[in-house]
Chain A
Amino acid sequence: MHCDALVIGGGLAGCATACYLAEAGLSVVLLERGEINRGASGQNAGSLHFQLEHRLIHHADALGEELQHYVALTRVAIDHWRNIESELGSELELAMHGGLMLAETDDEIALLERKAGIERGQGLEVELLDADETRARAPYLSPQVRGALYCPHEGHCNPRLLTPAYARKAARLGAEIVTHCTVGETRRQGGQWQVRGEDSRGTRREWRASVLVNAAGAWTMDIGRMANLHLPVFPIGLLMNATERAAPFIHHLIQHVGRRLSMKQVDDGNVLIGGGWSARLPQQLGQWGAGRAAIDMTALRNNLRTALAVAPGIEPLKILRSWTGITGITPDQLPLIGAVSRAPGYFVAAGGSGFTYGPTYARLLSELITRGEPSHSLAPYSPDRFAHMNMFMG
């Protein structure tokens, strides 16, 4: 079978890219080895965090220009989110009521000030709040909180709904979505990509496409290997927790500049608590195995303790479930988005705040594919920054 573009991966990056490519008039096939949205895209906690994350601020000096580009891209993403429900024609439980990045120490306040400087310089609206101003907006916060950086655009969206909405729209626009199909081979032949897959019943299928998009998330490296490419995306396991429903009391996305914390209350009333606490990846014979990451009980306790320290009122709330997801991270923590020069027609969309920026990454990537130039530069994210890793790959 022939198509213009073949997308590997049924997560947010894959479904959104398939959707935008189909919208641009390309014939698109999307292959997913399991079900749509069953990986990190559906398992993350749905934060829309536009302020620089603490892991990025801590490396601000090293990241320099990339950081400024990141903030500029954020403005593009904010506009995108504001319109996404009408764009997709679906209710997504989107809430953009603002977010607070908390500080508890002098050092953390200083960090917030520095961060605010970088962000304002690039035109991202942020507002420094002192302790009283912070508690006036969020009375449930502990007196230990000494200040916060407020960004009015932050919030959350329901990750259970976003990717299926893209998949539905892609299908409406003519994209073929093939689930339970494991890709076993991608080969460059006669100026096209030849892709072989096998479904759960063992039936083999084959496609030819001018464009191949690797959107395999934490497994981008495995798919890349089939094209003789090193695409450095490494799996990491993360932990999240959901409480029982409660009357609305947290109206913002809560993050912490010095500690791992993200906390929000969703439409249904559940409080979601996470923030980058790790879960143990499954291992088999020295390889990362399939299956879910295991909960590390110490990380779980510390995650909850962090949340309790800034919001003591959550103590009686019951945890309904703690869950883990596997996402991908690159060596420089920036996403990997764009063309791979040494492999014509090969594109990647993986890594780096994939929920908040996923829709925007996908749109820009589809512009790069269909017009040769995206409306906002993707240069800092180009997979070619790791071209040296493929120098000796023949």
Chain B
Amino acid sequence: MARTDLAIVGAGPAGMAAARVATAHGLAVTVIDEQPRAGGQILRQPPASFRVDRWLADRIYRPQQSLLQQCAGLDGVRWQHATTVLGSELTGDGITLSLNTPGGVDELRAERLLLATGCHDMPVTFPGSTLPGVMATGGIQAFVKSQQIVPGERFVFSGSHPLQLIVADQILQAGGEVAAVLFSQPRSLFWRLLRQSPVLLRYPAKLLYFTRACARLMRRGVAIQFGRVASSAHGEGRLQRVEIADSGTLEARDTIACDRLGIGFGFLSNSQLASQAGLECHWSDSAGGWLARTDEWMRGSLPGVYVAGELTGIGGADVSQREGEIAGLAAAMDAGVLAPGVAAERARPARRALRPLYRFADVLSAMSHPGAALLRALMTRESTLCKCEEVTVGTVRALLDENPFTADLNALKLQSRCGMGMCQGRYCQYQLRTLLHSQRPDLATGDDGFQARFPVKPVSIGALATTPTPEEQ
């Protein structure tokens, strides 16, 4: 079995930053990522055989691009790409990771583990949400970023997150057509936040980036509408039009023809590995769902396990990178190769940078969250709540009515099958939780989330059965 001092799951900004810092202090580091190349979602790299002119040329990507370049030259890091971590097992003297690699299932023994698993787009349940052509806005962006592919012809974006503007702009620049960008919030919310939150003005580059995107969209005549939401998607076998409604009353206002609908209501942390390992998590409606608790050194609730980036709360690439640096220092300090005083000194710049970044992230999360009322209203009886197991909202509501004593997420999962399929609830847990809490208003919070099980992502019986046991190695 291969061994490493520090295993890092996720080669995004947090993972890369931690790898750089930890190797600089002499730790042997292994970085594991599902993608074929490093960079994470923020720097979705084109395949190595591609050449993309002006790839992510805007200056807001510069800190992460320079980190990527530094990482490319690191010696003490083993990069294990195209590899999925299926689960981790904590024993008294270390951590065993089960890996699904291109060559089969394998194990890695690590003294320490950093989970920097990032986030995914928050799925939203509404009539037609499973129709081919309805996509996550972040998913659309991944196509554009990595390959300059426009995955469709005529786009509508519906959501509450400012990322919508960036992606709509990127689609326009890559040659696609954008019919409308809809924000569920009233326009006044954005102005009020801008006025009340001077922290936004500390990041002029980000503001400028958004302003430019807006300006380009407006110049091209793209309608940016506030207080509107795509309330249903329609088409024969694929998306052909969306119904636009007032986001307060869901009263229909308009129908727009399109073949792609981007859904952008924010992000949820990828918390499955944290949950499978048994890390203590807490719930946040607006900052990413289940988030791992950490101390000031990014240590999770289990010995030897660290957490950095979106999994501690959605905060963006800059927060992730800084948290990754601190986690890298903590791993070196806890391994005994870096004196606590020196570690504290070296963590100071990251901590100083994080303070306003956290405030910025809080403002962005609060501003971008659509609110439980809208999410609930969009979930009509016929809408599909769990795509994997094909469970509708109506089925779950009926179960809750028939079983008055069912009052937690895992019990509801058992009864409804929601979350028992391929994705283990990655795409329905937030919605199911919203539904549960709306029908059980007196529910004590502090309930557990879905218990993620090994393997966190599906893997064949053949691959699992042929892994040699420790005695056979």
Contact residues of A with B, CB < 8 Å?
Answer: 10, 34-38, 42, 160-161, 164, 167-168, 171, 177, 179-180, 200-201, 242-244, 268, 292, 294-295, 297-298, 300-302, 304-305, 307-308, 314-323
Contacts and interface: CB of A to CB of B under 8 A. Distances in A.
A307 B424 CA distance: 23
Interface hub of B96, B410, B422, B461 (most chain A Cβ within 10 A): B461
B379 to A, nearest CB: 23
A243 B451 contact: no
A319 B402 contact: no
Interface hub of B96, B98, B451, B469 (most chain A Cβ within 10 A): B469
B414 interface: yes
Contacts of A10: 405
Interface residues of B, number: 38
Interface in B170-184: none
Nearest to A35: B411
Contact of A320 (B421, B462, B470): B421
Contact of A317 (B410, B460, B467): B460
B89 A167 contact: no
A37 B415 CA distance: 10
B403 A164 contact: yes
Contacts of A321: 420, 424, 453-455
A37 B407 CA distance: 12
B73 interface: no
A295 B408 contact: no
A298 B107 CA distance: 12
A308 B403 contact: no
Contacts, number: 107
Nearest to A30: B405
Interface of B: 87, 89, 96, 98, 107, 389, 402-408, 410-411, 414-415, 417, 420-422, 424, 444, 451, 453-455, 458-462, 464-465, 467, 469-471
Contact of B405 (A167, A200, A320): A167
6 contacts: A38-B410, A168-B403, A295-B87, A297-B107, A301-B467, A317-B461
Q: Majority SS of interface residues in chain A?
A: mixed
Contacts of B464: 300-301, 304, 319
A297 B455 contact: no
B403 A167 contact: yes
Given A243-B461, A292-B451, A319-B455, A297 B403 contact: no
A318 B462 CA distance: 8
Contacts of B404: 171
Contacts of A180: 407, 444
A35 B408 contact: yes
A315 B461 contact: yes
B174 to A, nearest CB: 35
B454 A318 contact: no
Contacts of A297: 89, 96, 98, 107, 469
Given A295-B89, A319-B455, A177 B405 contact: yes
Contacts of A314: 461
Contacts of B455: 319, 321-322
Given A37-B414, A171-B404, A319-B464, 6 more contacts: A35-B405, A164-B406, A244-B422, A297-B469, A298-B469, A304-B465
3 nearest A-B pairs in the assembled complex, by CB-CB distance: A321-B453, A315-B462, A318-B458
Contacts of A243: 461
Contact of B461 (A38, A177, A307): A307
B405 A315 contact: no
Contact of B469 (A164, A294, A301): A301
Contacts of A160: 414-415, 417
